[in-house]
Amino acid sequence: MSSEPQSSSIPIGVSRVEEFFVNVDDEHNKEECNIEASEPTVDSTTKEVEVENPFKAFKRPRRSKVWDDFFEPEIINEQSKVRKVFPRYALHDHSYKHCLDDDEWGKIEKLLEILKVFKATTNIISGSEYPTSNMFLGEVQRIKVLLDSKFESTDDFVKNMVGNMKERFDKYWGECNLLMAIGSVLDPRLKMRDVEIAFPKMFPSHLVRENISKVKDIMYKLFDEYLTMHSSSCNVEESEEHAFSMDVHGGDVTSSGLYEFLQDVFSGETFVPRVKFELDSYLDEGCIFSQDVKFDVIAWWKEKSNKFRILSRIAVNVLAVPITTVASEATFSAESRVIDPYRSSLTP
């Protein structure tokens, strides 16, 4: 989460864990914790008794970034692993007043369950060299389904905690859903299937078909706009192809009536270039099968640019929008990744 929330929204148990690690300032204190608070273990290989320092892996958080540091799921998970150590440390340091009870630890575990899903989505963003917009719809669906289900919880703590997240997330989803859906449709592995699977989980049942139709309508409008912008170049290419096809079918056809008729058909308003049907062809063809996590969708469209002359232009422009720019700063934060000019060009 990029913005630090108000202190009232931080679970008390988590605040106390934060206070503990802020107060354990230096390595000397951590070593004392090791002696007095840790539980001995036996190495299975050497059979020697070892005393593991449960605090050794923790570094002091930056005071200005306490929320960000401690709400990393890996850190919270480690904090819960040393749950038994806190009371023992309290016996060692009588000034320590931050022991958590079972209820507070339970709240931390509930929070961790939610944060793990957010973290997984963040890893998709930060773990991809080129995080293009086609990658995001499925991940956003996971988060929305989680928040919606948790908001229906009978646990007041969970319901109240998720309420604020859900309000912000729903606003974000409302602003960005169309771009994410179009990006998904332009992934040849997904096409409309991802939208048809995700939308029933993300919209009320009476709005599902309407929103699926809206995505398809926008795709056709977008295609028509691009076709208008690039129709002259496509018509020249189409005419050259048809002229070539007539020449290679043998014989001197220039003096035939059929040739003159074909010339009329392939000219003026009577000629409808095949690019007009590109979108239908693309959507009607089956999805390509690829489980390659490094599948390069922009490279695929570059390879198919002769077959899908207009659609490939749309795809490269839409997919070149990094998902880090689709995501609202108020909802997620990640280092920006920029699609370089080469990848956003159809040039091989």
Range(s) of the domain holding residue 186: 131-348
Q: What local confidence, expressed as pLDDT, does residue 179 receive?
A: 83
Q: What is the pTM of this model?
A: 0.62
Indicate if the pLDDT at residue 88 is higher than 60: yes
| Count of domains for the chain | 2
Q: Give yes or no: residues 114 and 140 share one domain.
A: no
Q: Tell me if 36 is assigned to some domain.
A: yes
d(CA 178, CA 181): 5
Closest CA relative to residue 212, chosen from 231, 229, 198: 198
135 neighbors 342 (Cβ within 8 angstroms):
no
| Residue pLDDT, tens place only, 309-323 | 999 999 988 888 766
| Residue pLDDT, tens place only, 62-73 | 444 444 554 555
Q: What local confidence, expressed as pLDDT, does residue 311 receive?
A: 94
Pair of tokens at residue 249 = 């079918």
Q: Give yes or no: residues 146 and 265 share one domain.
A: yes
Q: Tell me if 206 is assigned to some domain.
A: yes
Q: Give yes or no: residues 215 and 257 share one domain.
A: yes
Q: Tell me if 66 is assigned to some domain.
A: yes
| DSSP secondary structure letter of residue 41 | E
The stretches of the chain forming alpha helices (DSSP H) are 12-23, 27-37, 66-70, 73-81, 85-92, 102-126, 136-151, 156-185, 192-202, 205-247, 257-265, 278-284, 297-303, 309-319, 323-326
Pair of tokens at residue 282 = 């693309």
Q: Tell me if 1 is assigned to some domain.
A: no
Q: How many C-beta atoms lie closer than 10 Å to residue 145's C-beta?
A: 14
Q: What local confidence, expressed as pLDDT, does residue 66 receive?
A: 43
| Residue pLDDT, tens place only, 151-204 | 999 999 899 889 988 888 888 777 667 888 999 999 999 999 999 999 999 889
Q: What local confidence, expressed as pLDDT, does residue 101 receive?
A: 78
How buried is residue 319: exposed, middle or buried, by Cβ count under 10 Å (0-12/13-18/19+)? buried
